[in-house]
Amino acid sequence: MDLKLLINKAIESKKFSYSPYSKFRVGSALLTEDNKIYTGCNVEISSYSLTICAERNAIFKAYSEGERKFKSIAISADTEDYISPCGACRQVITDLCGNIDVILINGKGQYKIFKSIELLPFAFSDKELNNRE
Ligand code: THU
């Protein structure tokens, strides 16, 4: 799988962003282990806290279609610096996708690659939950 293709899918997905309140468009593209791509954009709600981020949308779309194994996720915004995923999304990426590559893209299409655990060290996980009787 061409990294550029995944990056372009994330950039393209910004066009579907529904962000009338923040006017901050975000697009994401998630790559599965068998090279399928699920895209997502942020969708905002008049009751702001119900908004869903682009990367979480992509992940939940993939899960809803039965996908469970992933290689990487690309996230794009029209920012000067590389887009920085929010804390909630870092938890969701680590929890539902594992230690995958997270490709953060800036407004010029430049990118930087991190591992999920670099973005969320000492993450909470199901390890502890599974130890309970
Ligand atoms: N947002 C994302 O979709 N992903 C991020 O990584 C950062 C923030 C959205 C949420 C909201 O619609 C807008 O950007 C401003 O916070």
DSSP string, 87-114: HHHHHHHHHHH-S-EEEEE-TTS-EEEE
CATH, residue 62: 3.40.140.10
Position 93: which residue type?
I
The reply to whether 69 falls in a domain is yes
Long-range pairs of 65-69 with CB within 8 A, sequence gap ≥ 24? 65/38, 67/32, 67/36, 67/38, 69/32, 69/33, 69/34
Nearest CA, atom 2, ligand 1:
53
* Distance from C-alpha of 131 to C-alpha of 25, rounded to nearest angstrom: 40
pTM of the model: 0.96
Q: Which of 30-44, 102-116, 117-131 has the lowest mean pLDDT?
A: 117-131
Domain that holds residue 10: 3-128
Token digits for 131? 């130890």
Mean pLDDT of the chain: 96
**Ligand 1 pocket, residue 79 CB under 6 Å:** no
pLDDT of 107 > 90? The answer is yes
Q: What is the pLDDT of residue 133?
A: 67
Nearest CA, atom 6, ligand 1:
85
Q: Which of 33, 44, 55, 65 is catalytic?
A: 55
**Ligand 1 pocket, residue 86 CB under 6 Å:** yes
Nearest CA, atom 10, ligand 1:
53
The reply to whether 17 falls in a domain is yes
